[in-house]
Amino acid sequence: MSSVLSYENAVHAVAGALGSVTAMSLFYPLDTARLRLQVDEQRKSRSTPAVLMEIIREEGLLAPYRGWFPVISSLCCSNFVYFYTFNSLKSLWIKGTASTTGKDLMIGFVAGVVNVLLTTPLWVVNTRLKLQGAKFRNDDIKPTTYTGISDAFQKILQKEGVLALWNGTLPSLLLVFNPAIQFMFYEGLKRQLLSQQEEVKSFTIMFSGLYIIQWR
């Protein structure tokens, strides 16, 4: 139990959560444009810059950051759960023995499953809030009237039932292989770098992560 409730696991979880929050905050407008292009097929503009300009012109300067807080909250919780679970399972399974790519893949997969099952309701709510107030070209999309995260939770529970909060769980579970494979390559590359030098610098870790994301 001490290996699970450890300071090191908490540090990894907090670092992962803060890193994801920082990255998403910087590139949030791009995610807004991506989501609009996915759900509003009647929109004529098909490029990201054009969609962003349309959103700003029609809905205001801050419109690309609509729904930022729910998304950041969900992302923070999701990455905290994933990193904490990943490092906890790693400390329990490895226990001083040499880690392997197979073990990293399995641990990443299990951590992803735990993450999906625990945080899917947050993602369902934040997607609803992010699209609220948006001007769609598609008349089939019905606007929502939530006042916040707690209000969205309550209305979904009342009108659609508990299981509605876990909509999309099966596809999300299939996508668990994505971060699992990413972490497998990341951990393997980190071990390779550590075998060549005593300490890996932070910028080296950053570029290693970018390289893996590019080829995942």
Find the mean pLDDT for residues 122-134.
Answer: 78
pLDDT of residue 197: 60
pLDDT value of position 216: 42
pLDDT category at 74 given cuts 50, 70, 90 is confident
Percent of the chain having pLDDT more than 70? 77
Mean pLDDT of 6-17: 83
Residues 76-85 have pLDDT tens digits of 999 999 989 9
Question: Considering only CA atoms, which of 87, 76, 78, 95 is closest in space to residue 11?
Answer: 87
Query: What band does 199 get if pLDDT is binned at 50, 70 and 90?
Result: low
Tell me what the mean pLDDT of segment 157-186 comes to: 85
- The 3-state secondary structure of 40-77 reads CCCCCCCCHHHHHHHHHHHHCCCHHHCCHHHHHHHHHH
Mean pLDDT value across residues 183-198: 70
Residue 70 tokens read as 């729910």
- Of 53, 54, 50, 48, the closest CA to residue 137 belongs to 54
Amino acid at 61: L
Query: Which sequence spans correspond to the domains of the chain?
Result: 7-215
Tell me the mean pLDDT in the region 4-33.
85
Fold of the CATH domain 7-215: Mitochondrial carrier fold (1.50.40)
Q: In the prediction, which pLDDT does 187 show?
A: 75
Residue that is written with structure tokens 């947050």 in the block: 122
pLDDT band at 143 (very low <50, low <70, confident <90, very high): low
Residue 211 has a pLDDT of 41
Arithmetic mean of pLDDT, 3-11: 76
Alpha helices in the chain (DSSP H): 7-39, 48-59, 68-94, 101-131, 149-160, 169-174, 177-196, 202-215
Q: Residue 16: which pLDDT band, with cuts at 50, 70 and 90?
A: confident
pLDDT higher than threshold 80 for residue 63: yes
Segment 105-122 mean pLDDT: 90
Judged against a pLDDT cut of 60, whether residue 128 lies above it is answered with: yes
